[in-house]
Amino acid sequence: MIEAVNPPDWEKPKGYANGILVDGQRLYTGGQIGWNKDQVFEHTDFVGQLEQTLANIVAIVEAAGGEVADIVRLTWFITDKKAYLANLKEVGAAYRKVMGRHYPSMSVLVVAALIEDAAMVEIEATAEIGKSRKDG
């Protein structure tokens, strides 16, 4: 069974799904960016957008019935390698604020641009819902 996942209080996506849940277990998120549930950017800096992006991923995982520990993969697309490297301490703090000390497999790719001009980071996630629980 395949079902779309969208946090209930979020603006409905147009032409894509925020998440796809397969067999009630495997969750694939669409690329999430640093805007809020109303699709408004509240931050113009890399770290602020990163924190919001990660929070968006967690919201989708939770809407699918999961938790942070269920996330098994993150693929980051960033537009500014220098901003990422210059703020590694702040990037780490923002990551831990949202994700705790859960570190799934990750890749970071530098790209020329993202579809939303204001976006500085986009992240895709894969999660195995319920697998992090001892009885899961």
Class of the CATH domain delimited by 2-128: alpha beta
Q: Which tokens hold the place of 31?
A: 């690329």
CA–CA separation, 68 and 127 (whole Å): 9
Number of residues that make up the chain: 136
Question: Taking 80 as the threshold, does the pLDDT of residue 135 lie above it?
Answer: no
Query: pLDDT band at residue 132, thresholds of 50, 70 and 90?
Result: confident
Question: Taking 80 as the threshold, does the pLDDT of residue 25 lie above it?
Answer: yes
Q: Which tokens hold the place of 78?
A: 């960033």
Q: What is the pLDDT of residues 60-111, one digit of tens each?
A: 999 999 999 999 999 999 999 999 999 999 999 999 999 999 999 999 999 9
Q: What is the pLDDT of residues 30-40, one digit of tens each?
A: 999 999 999 99
